[in-house]
Amino acid sequence: MNEDEFFYSRETGGTIVSSALKKTLEVIEERFPKHEWNVYVAQASDGDNWEGDSSICSKLLREQIIPKVQYFSYIEITDRDHQNLWREYEHVADSCPDAFSMEQIKTIDDIYPVFRRLFEKKPGL
């Protein structure tokens, strides 16, 4: 997918985000044990997800993925109102503020500042 497709494609379909998170967990467990690696994950999405799957994603993050990583960032790429995945992830951000962050990208000009904020050195760390 090129940059134009990434930002302007309006594909619709059946996104089940938990399947990607399960694959992420599998890769981390098989190849990047926490005692050997500092794992940082960035998930970019338009926020659309099958109803009911967002709560599964939240549970996977809180209970299985975040304990195995240094930091997890969620980037929602949309100029629309936040979607159900964002609303569910707000609970993750509240419960894991040092290891989870969220940002929204609305335009191409937002890309660099958003990623800079997500990965800037935090005071005291």
Q: Confirm whether 5 is domain-assigned.
A: no
Spatial contact of 62 and 88, defined as CB atoms under 8 Å apart: no
Q: Confirm whether 57 is domain-assigned.
A: yes
pTM: predicted TM-score of the whole model, two decimal places: 0.82
Distances (CA, A) of 83 to 39, 44, 70, 87: 27, 13, 26, 7
Distance, CA of 28 to CA of 11 (rounded, Å) = 29
pLDDT in tens, 71-93: 999 999 999 888 889 999 999 99
Distance, CA of 102 to CA of 100 (rounded, Å) = 7
Give residue 89's domain range. Answer: 34-119
Mean pLDDT taken over the chain? 88
Q: Confirm whether 2 is domain-assigned.
A: no
pLDDT in tens, 4-36: 665 565 555 568 999 999 999 999 999 999 899
How many domains does the chain contain in total?
1
